[in-house]
Amino acid sequence: MKKFINKYENLIEEMVEGYVLANSDKVKRLPTERVLAYSNAPIQGKVGVITGGGSGHKPAFIGYIGKGLLDTVAVGDIFAAPPVQRCYEAIKAADGGKGVLVCIGNYSGDTMNFGMAAELAQDEGIPVEILVVNDDVASSPKDRMDNRRGVAGEVVLWKMMGALAQEGADLATLKEVGNRTIFNTRSLGVAHTPCIMPSSGKPSFQIGDDEMEIGVGHHGEPGIQRTKLMSADEVTTLITQKILEDLPFGAGDEVSVLMSGLGSTSLLEMYICYRKLHQILTDHQITIHRNYIGEFFTSMEMGGFSITLTKLDEDLKRLIDAPCDGVHLIQH
C-alpha cells in the first residue's frame, strides 16, 4: 500500500491534529476530540448548520467548516459514520439558540447515529432537524428515491444551508429550502480505479485494467454498469444523460454544476469532460449558472469523478452565489 501514513490506529487522530494545527484560524477542536467546529461557533441567533460522516473524503467534511458554511462536523473513522456521542456534541456545539440543522448523506450509519444524537439534544430542548441527501441517481430507481445514497450533492446542500443560516433564516425555513435543494440535486459518478483501504492495504473493489464502472459510490460501493473504459466525451454524455432524465431537467432550466474528482483523476481530464458537459447542457437549453470543478468529495485515491446538477430557483441562485469562507471552499 502506497500511502504516507503512520500507524493505522492513529490515522484519524493524526489527521485531525494536523488539520487543526493548519487551520487554527478557522477551526477549533471540541472536548470529544473528534468533533471540529468553526472558531466562532456557536453563533448566537444563527441556526447551526452541521454535518458528519466517515473519513477519507477530504476536503469533505471538515474542509467545509467556516463562515457561510458549516458550524460543526462530527468525524468518523474511515468510511464509518461517527458515533452518537460525537454527533450529539456536534449538535450541541452548533446551537446558538435557534436550533441546529443536520445535513447528512443517506447512509444507515449516519442517519441512525445522528438520529439518536438528535433525540438526546431535543430532550434537552434544542430544536434539531435532519436533512438527508439522496442525490446519487445510480443508487436506486426513481420510485425508491428515498433509498438513494448521498454523494457530492451534500456539498451543494452545505453551501445553500450555510448561506441561508448566515442570512438569519429560521430552522423551518432552512428545512423547507433544504428539502427543495435536495430534491433538485442529482449526481452520478464513475470510477475506474479503487481506493486502497488503509486498514488492510486492499483495494475497495476489484476492477479490470480496461474497465470502469458507472455509479460507484464514494466508499467504493458497486454501481450499476460495468463497461470498457470510455472516452471523456462518451462517459460525460452517458452520465449527463442519466442525470438529465432523472429529475428531469429541461429547456430553460438554470443549474449549478459540481464536478468532483474522486481522488486521482486529474483536473486536466475534468476540464475535458466539462467541455462536453457544457456542450450537452447548451444543446438542451439548460444554463449553467455557476460551476465548481475540482476535488470536493473524494474517496482517497480513487480514480473517477462525479457530476452533480442542481436545478436552481431564485432562492437557490442567491444562496449558491453567496460568499463563504470555508477552509477548503472560499467564495467572494
Ligand X SMILES: Nc1ncnc2c1ncn2[C@@H]1O[C@H](COP(=O)(O)OP(=O)(O)O)[C@@H](O)[C@H]1O
Query: Which residues would be at the binding site for another protein (CB under 8 A)?
Result: 54, 76-86, 107-109, 112-113, 115-116, 138-140, 147-149, 197, 199-200, 202, 204-206, 217, 219-222
Which DSSP helix (H) or strand (E) runs through 14?
helix 11-22
Distance CA 93, CA 207 (A): 43
Instruction: Write the CA distances from 197 to 8, 11, 101, 140, 299, integer angstroms.
Output: 10, 12, 31, 25, 10
Indicate the residue whose CB is closest to ligand X: 109
Question: Catalytic one among 219, 284, 289, 328?
Answer: 219
Question: Catalytic one among 57, 284, 289, 328?
Answer: 57
The stretch among 39-47, 96-104, 138-146, 293-301 that binds a second copy (CB under 8 A) is 293-301
DSSP three-state, residue 102: strand
Q: Does 109 bind ligand X (CB under 6 A)?
A: yes
The residue among 6 and 108 lying less far from ligand X, judged by its C-beta, is: 108
Cα dihedral sign, 284-291-156-12 = positive
Contact partners, residue 148, CB within 8 Å, separation at least 6: 106, 134, 135, 136, 137, 139, 140
Looking at the DSSP bridge assignments, the partners of residue 36 are 29, 73
Per the annotation, the verdict on 278 as an active-site residue is no
Give the distance, in angstroms, between the CA of residue 129 and the centroid of all CA atoms in the same chain.
18
Please choose which of another protein, a second copy, ligand X, none residue 308 contacts, taking the beta carbon within 5 to 8 angstroms, the exact cut-off set by kind.
Answer: none
Q: Does 80 bind Mg ion (CB under 5 A)?
A: yes
Give the residue, chosen from 149, 174, 305, 310, that forms a contact with a second copy under the rule CB under 8 A. 305
Give the residue, chosen from 16, 37, 81, 164, that forms a contact with ligand X under the rule CB under 6 A. 81
Q: Does 205 bind ligand X (CB under 6 A)?
A: no
Residue 230: name the closest of 210, 207, 244, 215 by CA: 210
Residue 91: name the closest of 119, 132, 54, 133 by CA: 119
Q: Give min distance, CB of 86 to another protein, in A.
A: 8
Per the annotation, the verdict on 57 as an active-site residue is yes
Distance CA 48, CA 162 (A): 8
Cell numbers standing for residue 214: 458507472
Length, in residues, of the chain: 332
Give the residue, chosen from 38, 61, 64, 107, that forms a contact with ligand X under the rule CB under 6 A. 107
Q: Give min distance, CB of 114 to another protein, in A.
A: 10
DSSP three-state, residue 249: coil
Distance CA 35, CA 72 (A): 7
Please choose which of another protein, Mg ion, a second copy, none residue 267 contacts, taking the beta carbon within 5 to 8 angstroms, the exact cut-off set by kind.
Answer: a second copy
Give the residue, chosen from 122, 173, 237, 331, that forms a contact with a second copy under the rule CB under 8 A. 331
Q: Give min distance, CB of 143 to another protein, in A.
A: 13
Contact partners, residue 109, CB within 8 Å, separation at least 6: 54, 76, 80, 81
Q: Please identify every residue annotated as catalytic.
A: 57, 219
Which residues contribute to the site for Mg ion (CB under 5 A)?
79-80
- The contact set with a second copy (CB under 8 A) reads 2-6, 11, 14-15, 17-19, 21-22, 55-56, 58-59, 63, 192-193, 209, 212, 229-233, 235-236, 263-276, 278, 291, 293-295, 298, 300-301, 303, 305, 325, 328, 330-332
User: Interface residues with ligand X (CB under 6 A)?
Assistant: 79-81, 107-109
